[in-house]
Amino acid sequence: MTDLFKAMRLSEEDSETGHIFFSEGGKILVPLHKPKTGMTGQEMLQRLLSRSGNDDGSLANDFLVELGRTVPLEALRQLLTSADPRTQSTGAFLATFQNQNISAMVGDLAALLRHKNPQTRFDAVESILRCSTRDHGRYLAEALFALDDEDHGVRMGAIQFVRFAKDWQLKLARRHAASLRPHTPFSTIADLTKEWHEDTSGMIRAMLDHAEPMVRRYGLGLASRARLMVVDAFVEWAQASSDAEIAELATNCLKRNLISRNAVWHSSLPAKAGTLA
């Protein structure tokens, strides 16, 4: 797995002053600048669509600066729906820097959840989180289905989805996932949420101790969910899990404080917290 796949995305504030140079070696924040390629935005788009030459990522980076400025945002759909898998991957990556301004493309992003490249599936999950509206319950559910992805990194992306989704996004994802896949771990998640809705700590315990890995992964997302404060006791429960994947991811949360900039990591809160955010 490359550093690019694992790297965090730019914050909204950072994206106003810089952008990402990305390659197999990783991602670097650099100031916004005139395109290195000397091409116009439209010329870059055509080059990306043709996939001619060996692009190291700098062309897509330059295009990111032009997208929404000299090139209409709608042009992104051409990349997402291209017949070329590499072009689709570029489109999915660029979409992670957008928001509800491309909500009309969420269906195209959801289609990439079946892409053969796990990095692209990861980007699709993140983009759906960023760009979806209340009309996209089915697509939010499809992003949640990534909890069952064969790739560890994509599953981590789905756990991040649970952590950072808005309340309405998580509710819609849960409800539609249970409806689309009845009698599966996703319906179990919905049932446990209803059963323990007045007891956050009980809900998290029940999910982390559940026999189904997908339910445990969802429970980890809840345990480290960015409320106004992140309750470290919840994350420590996940860290003590007998499921090695859950324990490792929870340890990463504790070590790196992987939380929203709007949340605070608080070590002195009691284990039993209030209503789930």
pLDDT digits (tens, 9 = 90+) for 112-161: 999 999 999 999 999 999 999 999 999 999 999 999 999 999 999 999 99
DSSP state of 116: S
The pLDDT of residue 249: 87
Give the model confidence (pLDDT) of 172-192 as tens digits: 999 999 999 999 999 999 999
Amino acid identity of residue 256, one-letter, is R
Q: What is the mean pLDDT of the chain?
A: 81
Give the model confidence (pLDDT) of 207-257 as tens digits: 999 999 999 999 999 998 866 566 778 888 898 999 999 999 888 877 765
Residue 14 has pLDDT above 50, yes or no: no
The pLDDT of residue 37: 64
| Helices then strands, each counted (H, E), the chain | 15, 4
Residue 171 has pLDDT above 90, yes or no: yes
Residues whose CB falls within 8 Å of the CB of residue 8, separated by 6 or more in sequence, listed in order: none
Residues whose CB falls within 8 Å of the CB of residue 62, separated by 6 or more in sequence, listed in order: 35, 36, 37, 39, 44
The pLDDT of residue 56: 61
Residue 97 has pLDDT above 70, yes or no: yes
The pLDDT of residue 142: 98
Give the model confidence (pLDDT) of 30-88 as tens digits: 445 555 667 899 999 999 998 765 566 788 888 998 999 899 999 999 999 999 999 99
Tabulate helix, strand, coil % of the chain (nearest 5).
Answer: 60, 5, 35
Handedness of CA 13, 160, 273, 251 (dihedral sign): negative
DSSP state of 42: H
Residues whose CB falls within 8 Å of the CB of residue 130, separated by 6 or more in sequence, listed in order: 95, 96, 98, 99, 100
Q: Cβ atoms within 10 A of the Cβ of 124, count?
A: 33
Give the model confidence (pLDDT) of 73-84 as tens digits: 999 999 999 999
Residue 15 has pLDDT above 90, yes or no: no
